Amino acid sequence: MGYLHEGHATLIRQARQACDVVVLSIFVNPLQFGPKEDLAKYPRDLERDLRVAAGAGVDAVFFPEVETMYPPGFDTRVVVSGVSEPLDGAARPGHFVGVATVVLKLLNLVQPGRVFLGEKDWQQLAVLRRMVTDLNVPVEVVGVPTVRETSGLAMSSRNSYLTAPQKERATVLHRALRSVQAAYAGGERRTLALRQAGLDVLAHEPDAEVEYLEVVGADLLSSDMLEREREDNDPMTRVLVAARMYGVRLIDNLPLDPGATIGAGA
């Protein structure tokens, strides 16, 4: 959605290495914002974005007006059930309908062979993978690991809302996830105990209003959202967190792999 940062530039560079032609879309999509969300103030700087895009190796940039994507009479929505329903789907009703609808339109317009998406938005990545599989969209979805600031904070356009001290406090999300990952690497497999390891870290930051911290399987549904302990988590398990800090909604996630090495740029 624009206001590009190093995470976006990394996506572009990976696409540049893998593909003959790289196309970037920049579109602040109103369909994925709720009525009380930050559509009006979402950061925008097209000239800066174009400089970042050119420097990273983009061949073409598509930045349509809202009326181009949603002309008068537009009345179609894409609903991806199941994987879109928990977590952000519950916290932001209608969000993934907007995401799936605009991405399907973009894929149809550009018809790329591959689409590169950041793993920071892990549930979004899962939703879009399910969509292209279910609808036989001829595109390979490539997930790219989260790019972080040196503090560990996941890069996000919304970080621009935060002051430097606030950004430092916001690293509590990453520290909470690392606490869960450390517990998992240490042999803990009980879902509630893993969650508690992260929640204990978040509890020491009074400015963090936690929406969720969940341990999930590959389908994003096999967690203690079912209110039960699990003795044998899926090998491809993740911990995901969402919290509001200083009026800004932040999300992050980490893999729970006993052999994973989680560094500041992971």
Report the chain's mean pLDDT, rounded to a whole number. 91
Residue 84, class by beta-carbon neighbours within 10 Å (0-12 exposed, 13-18 middle, 19+ buried)?
Answer: buried
pLDDT for the residue 263: 43
On whether the CB atoms of residues 34 and 99 are closer than 8 A, the answer is no
pLDDT for the residue 260: 59
In whole angstroms, give the CA distance from residue 65 to residue 80.
Answer: 25
- Among residues 188, 206, 209, the alpha carbon closest in space to that of 197 is found at 188
pLDDT for the residue 257: 78
Q: Is the pLDDT of residue 225 over 60?
A: no
What residues form the annotated binding site for beta-alanine?
32
What residues form the annotated binding site?
1-8, 32, 118-121, 124, 147, 155-158
Q: What is the DSSP string of 71-88?
A: -TT-------TTTTSSTH
Residue pLDDT, tens place only, 47-69: 999 999 999 999 999 999 999 99
Q: What is the CA radius of gyration of the chain?
A: 18
pLDDT for the residue 189: 87
Residue pLDDT, tens place only, 174-189: 999 999 999 999 999 8
Q: Is the pLDDT of residue 230 over 70?
A: no
Looking at CATH, the fold of the domain delimited by 6-144 is given as Rossmann fold (3.40.50)
Express as a percent the part of the chain with pLDDT over 90.
86
What residues form the annotated binding site for ATP?
1-8, 118-121, 147, 155-158
Domain boundaries, the chain: 6-144, 157-256
Return the bridge partners of 143, or none.
117
Residue with tokens 């935060």: 162
CATH pick for 157-256 out of 3.30.1300.10, 3.40.190.290, 3.40.50.10310, 1.10.10.10 = 3.30.1300.10
Q: Is the pLDDT of residue 264 over 90?
A: no
Q: Which helix (H) or strand (E) holds 9?
A: helix 6-18
Residue pLDDT, tens place only, 102-126: 999 999 999 999 999 999 999 999 9
Residue pLDDT, tens place only, 239-263: 999 999 999 999 999 999 777 554 4
Active site residue 8: yes
Give Cα separations from 90 to 11, 227, 249 (angstroms): 28, 16, 14
pLDDT for the residue 219: 66
